[in-house]
């Protein structure tokens, strides 16, 4: 049976082979059906393949998955066509950077494979690794996609500093200036993908775990014809739907460096987890809806706010920098009010804050011209703050990806910092908050931080 490679986006197989490989290209989905008394959840297997006339089509990034599945079952297949590749014409190099052993390993593997995901925590320097990969293709044009303008500007700053005379352009934050190396937000580039989708040889997706089965990134990747397709993330999703979406658009994991490996090599800060126990509030225990519990128990909990800012103030007196993370603007504003009551100077960074201002705030926190920053989820991931000493997770939550991304803000080692302190708010005032705390404790234990 044949597998035909149509282009960098899609492969074609006969119906008989499609029926055989369907299990590896399917995930558990669900819908709700109205029953006699209430809606009932119904589960079914959903395939990522598209049905054609006597054939199926599947995303080209899943080719290796299909080949592995056939090999395990002794099913002989013949490949028709070939995956388009670029020839590396230069040795990967960055100005002012000597790659460590584990960094060089990831770069070499990415240049060899040319499709897939590099998985590494923030302290490893994923952006720098990808720039090293790009440097091996000096004649190629590159599109670097981000989901926030903060990440767009940060990646461009690294490129300006470490690549040899890069021609940098932007599509995002009100700018439309594509160049040989273009940094763009996905929200802005999707407006231009019809005209520019064929213009790039390399496409990079920063924080690729945001790619989903039917989101903007999928639309973009179905219309961008770049043969080299690399995703960057510290935390790959674990559910099969997300894995198939990422793998289909880009390819499988190229290589991985874990936080534990980085710490064992002495290239990442050690992590110390501390807990802030919130006073008992009996009013919260009687609430039934999660939204009400979160609002009363977290967003509007003045005792918790006071405890968090008191802790931040103690670290400021030691000269430490502190990042306090929230998910709701109202929560950040309440914490900012508490800072004023306790005479702690702080800045609140949120989505409405202009991109250039957010960059200035980030740089000031890193240089410790500002000691306390409260930030919404725009700062949960990707941003590089090497000198950050303390993180306070004021928002709680149970997501493994979010928890590890939060810690990633301060994992880099510097001449003056060897350890990151992470405060988790221990709120026992409702079963919802208690169960989320349990999820986070399990993550800390699994990572060996407890």
Q: pLDDT at position 380, please?
A: 62
In the structure, what pLDDT confidence band is assigned to residue 258 with cuts at 50, 70 and 90?
Answer: confident
DSSP 379: G
Chain segment 94-106, per-residue pLDDT in tens? 999 899 888 999 9
Q: Kindly report each contact of residues 169-176 with a partner whose C-beta sits within 8 Å and lies 24 or more positions away, as own/partner.
A: 172/146, 173/149, 173/355
129: pLDDT strictly greater than 80: yes
In the structure, what pLDDT confidence band is assigned to residue 406 with cuts at 50, 70 and 90?
Answer: confident
Distance of alpha carbon 58 from alpha carbon 56, whole angstroms: 7
Pairing of strands 175-177, 168-172: antiparallel
In whole numbers, what is the pLDDT of the chain averaged over residues? 91
Number of neighbouring beta carbons within 10 Å of residue 96: 6
Q: pLDDT at position 260, please?
A: 80
Q: What percent of the chain has pLDDT over 70?
A: 99
What pTM was computed for the model?
0.80
Are 11 and 80 in contact by the 8 Å Cβ rule? The answer is: no
Candidate from 291-300, 340-349, 413-422 with smallest mean pLDDT: 413-422
More confident residue, 259 or 175: 175
Number of neighbouring beta carbons within 10 Å of residue 316: 19
Instruction: Provide the residue count of the chain.
Output: 450
Candidate from 71-85, 264-278, 406-420 with smallest mean pLDDT: 406-420
169: pLDDT strictly greater than 70: yes
DSSP 278: P
21: pLDDT strictly greater than 60: yes
Matching residue, tokens 């056939």? 70
287: pLDDT strictly greater than 60: yes
Q: pLDDT at position 430, please?
A: 93
Average pLDDT over residues 158-184: 95
Chain segment 38-49, per-residue pLDDT in tens? 888 888 899 999
- Which residues are CB-contacts of 256 (< 8 A; sequence separation ≥ 6)? 118, 119, 120
348: pLDDT strictly greater than 90: yes
Are 384 and 336 in contact by the 8 Å Cβ rule? The answer is: no
Q: pLDDT at position 401, please?
A: 74
Q: pLDDT at position 298, please?
A: 95
Average pLDDT over residues 258-282: 86
Candidate from 4-8, 33-37, 129-133, 317-321 with smallest mean pLDDT: 33-37
382: pLDDT strictly greater than 60: no
Helices 149-162 + 126-135 axis angle, to 10 = 50
Q: pLDDT at position 2, please?
A: 93
Are 254 and 109 in contact by the 8 Å Cβ rule? The answer is: yes
Q: pLDDT at position 403, please?
A: 81
Token pair of 230, please? 């690399």
Q: pLDDT at position 116, please?
A: 97
């Amino acid at each position: 049976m044949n597998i035909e490679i149509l282009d960098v986006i899609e492969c074609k197989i006969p119906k008989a082979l499609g029926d055989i490989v369907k299990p590896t290209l399917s995930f558990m989905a669900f819908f709700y059906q109205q029953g006699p008394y209430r809606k009932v959840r119904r589960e079914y297997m959903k395939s990522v393949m598209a049905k054609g006339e006597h054939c199926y089509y599947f995303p080209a990034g899943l080719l290796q998955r299909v080949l592995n599945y056939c090999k395990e079952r002794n099913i002989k297949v013949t490949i028709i066509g070939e995956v388009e590749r670029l020839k590396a014409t230069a040795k990967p190099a960055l100005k002012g950077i000597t790659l460590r052993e584990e960094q060089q390993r990831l770069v070499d593997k990415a240049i060899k494979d040319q499709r897939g995901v590099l998985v590494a925590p923030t302290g490893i320097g994923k952006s720098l690794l990808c720039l090293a990969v790009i440097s091996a293709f000096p004649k190629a044009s590159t599109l670097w996609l981000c989901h926030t303008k903060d990440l767009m500007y940060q990646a461009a700053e690294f490129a300006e500093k470490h690549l040899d005379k890069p021609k940098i352009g932007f599509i995002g934050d009100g700018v439309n200036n594509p160049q040989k190396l273009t940094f763009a937000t996905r929200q802005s580039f999707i407006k231009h993908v019809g005209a520019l989708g064929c213009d790039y040889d390399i496409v990079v997706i920063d924080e690729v775990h945001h790619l989903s089965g039917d989101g903007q990134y999928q639309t973009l990747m179905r219309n961008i014809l770049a043969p080299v397709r690399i995703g960057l993330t510290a935390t790959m999703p674990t559910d099969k739907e997300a894995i198939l979406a990422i793998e289909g658009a880009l390819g499988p994991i190229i290589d991985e460096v874990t936080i534990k490996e980085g710490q064992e090599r002495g290239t990442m800060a050690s992590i110390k987890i501390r807990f802030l126990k919130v006073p008992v509030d009996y009013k919260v225990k009687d609430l039934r809806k999660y939204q009400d519990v979160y609002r009363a128990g977290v967003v509007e909990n003045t005792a918790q706010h006071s405890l968090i800012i008191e802790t931040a103030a103690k670290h400021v007196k030691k000269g430490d920098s502190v990042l306090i993370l929230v998910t709701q603007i109202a929560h950040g504003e309440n914490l900012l009010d508490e800072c004023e009551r306790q005479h702690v100077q702080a800045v609140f960074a949120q989505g409405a804050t202009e991109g250039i201002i957010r960059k200035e705030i980030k740089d000031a926190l890193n240089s410790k011209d500002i000691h306390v920053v409260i930030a919404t989820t725009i700062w949960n991931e990707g941003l590089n703050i090497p000198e950050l000493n303390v993180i306070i997770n004021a928002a709680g939550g149970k997501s493994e990806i979010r928890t590890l991304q939060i810690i990633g803000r301060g994992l880099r080692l510097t001449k003056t910092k060897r350890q990151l302190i992470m405060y988790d708010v221990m709120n026992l005032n409702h079963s919802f908050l208690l169960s989320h705390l349990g999820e986070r404790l399990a993550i800390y234990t699994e990572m060996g931080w407890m």
